[in-house]
Chains A and B, each alone.
Chain A
């Protein structure tokens, strides 16, 4: 008798859990299937599944929002930022983890500032600086802000990782005649690969998603990123909602795919980062 009761309870608990989770992600599913409705069905009934899927919505959305150059601009920023942040994080973290040098405390304090200051407090200051330099709306303007946004977390994650790498490996390398740069690039980098991938993916997500700095520093249609392109969607003429939904799906799909492939690294990195920040 008891085991029957247990089974029923277990089934109920699982149904409840699935229900909660399903409700939580339903807005995303809803977004997905509404993006292929024709506009009449969308206006009439937003809950039912599409009866006549309009895959052409996607092509129209790309054309209307000029999403191809925006994708290129986004990727340009993302790739450069990811490379810079990964390299910088490992190198700075290595010296912070292994050496005592003059000014070390100042160096770590400088990067700690980045984790303590609320990011958007810098929106106006950064705009003013780049305006004075005449650098707003240029191809490279977002690289430095994105780099600075992510590098403190990268350094922190790599520092604790490198501390756990056994010193004997480096000592053996020195005996074999390795110099400093060889230790860094031939030993520390390969050994830090798991952490580098975490840092790289977190940086990728953040710079792909970033909106506020992009709209303030580089809203020009030539250099604008995907998030800014999406913004101009909703401010344009009579908005066609289904196309807008298709555009939102397209911006999010790469992120969702990356998330499902690398969810372990992402979850670990974000948790560790949260604990610190």
Chain B
């Protein structure tokens, strides 16, 4: 780093930044420490609070409910990686091609749902999915398929898919814009040269565009993975984790332990477990993906 314009004493620097560090710590770091502390107790919100060692963590380890929730996070992750990224990639390729006009319009329109509140979006979809007067039922009725409409949010077998559709609809635009930005950097003359040599569009996409897009795709994959650990609003608004625990995710599980069952000690342990699992997942995926890139 080059030298700064003026010499400033360390103390003076902290005079400026310490207030913000304290604010951040009070909101973020201290609750984390408090939660770690409480996770070793049996606190249920009242006056009784007893230190119980690592009992909560032993329980967490064997708690099927927690692991089912985590597995659901992973299920969402797989669905999102395949369908959200897949659609985003195809759409970005398509819109970025020479033939399609109004690129800016498409980009803006498809990104629009991403800026809306995911809670509000979930409520919109609650009505879209409604059996009696929802948008999908109404369309199905018009084309005579009303018997084929599934119970989107009440069938444990498909509820995760139904929720994934909502999430894909809302956030696909984020991936489209990232991928479109990446595609702009791919040298078009390489594609043209390959076409001259007799490659078709599919071949040149597979052998030229895809390898060149690798860094951008890695960004999208890590974003998608960390996004799936953050799932809460959509689930809370649409199913609350049900029916049964078929769409339960870890954040929702921690919420239920705390606010439905008042097991604050255990809920803290669940939160800490969730942080650890998500850090492992995010860091591991970064490591694996970045190593592949070097090869």
Contacts and interface: CB of A to CB of B under 8 A. Distances in A.
Interface string A243-277: 01100100110011001100100110011001101
Nearest to B231: A120
Contact of B117 (A102, A103, A117, A227): A227
Interface string B114-158: 111111100111111000111100110010000000000000000
B251 to A, nearest CB: 4
A4 interface: no
B100 interface: yes
Contacts of A68: none
Contacts of B128: 27, 30
Given A28-B112, A110-B29, A124 B258 contact: yes
Given A180-B12, A275-B219, A252 B120 contact: yes
A26 to B, nearest CB: 8
Given A9-B99, A30-B135, A125-B32, A144 B27 contact: yes
B106 interface: yes
Contacts of A98: 4-5
A43 interface: yes
Interface of B: 1-2, 4-6, 8, 10, 12-14, 16-17, 20-21, 23-32, 34-35, 38, 45, 91, 94-95, 97, 99-102, 105-120, 123-128, 132-135, 138-139, 142, 169, 172, 174, 177-178, 181, 219, 223, 226, 229-233, 236-237, 250-251, 254-255, 257-259, 264, 267-268, 270-272, 274-275, 278-279, 282
Nearest to B216: A275
A134 interface: no
A246 to B, nearest CB: 12
Interface residue SS majority, chain A: helix
A48 to B, nearest CB: 9
Given A99-B13, A100-B1, A167-B5, A266 B258 contact: no
Contact of B135 (A47, A123, A248, A251): A47
Interface in A138-177: 144-145, 147-148, 151, 167, 170-171, 173-174
Contacts of A184: 16
Given A209-B116, A211-B233, A263-B108, A125 B133 contact: no
A49 interface: no
B24 A119 contact: no
Contact of B8 (A99, A125, A144): A99
B24 A125 contact: no
A125 B257 CA distance: 12
Contacts of B30: 129
Contacts of B35: 124-125, 128
B101 to A, nearest CB: 6
Interface in A98-114: 98-103, 107, 110-111, 113-114
A223 interface: no
A241 B254 CA distance: 31
14 contacts: A21-B106, A21-B110, A25-B110, A27-B135, A121-B275, A122-B28, A123-B232, A124-B257, A170-B5, A180-B12, A212-B119, A212-B236, A216-B255, A274-B174
A17 B94 contact: yes
A101 B116 contact: no
A24 interface: yes
Contacts of B127: 31, 241, 244-245
Closest 9 CB pairs of A and B: A209-B117, A125-B35, A148-B27, A170-B5, A211-B119, A125-B31, A120-B251, A144-B27, A88-B20
A231 B258 contact: no
Contacts of A128: 31, 34-35, 38, 258, 264, 268
Contact of B24 (A111, A117, A123, A234): A111
B16 A255 contact: no
B254 A212 contact: no
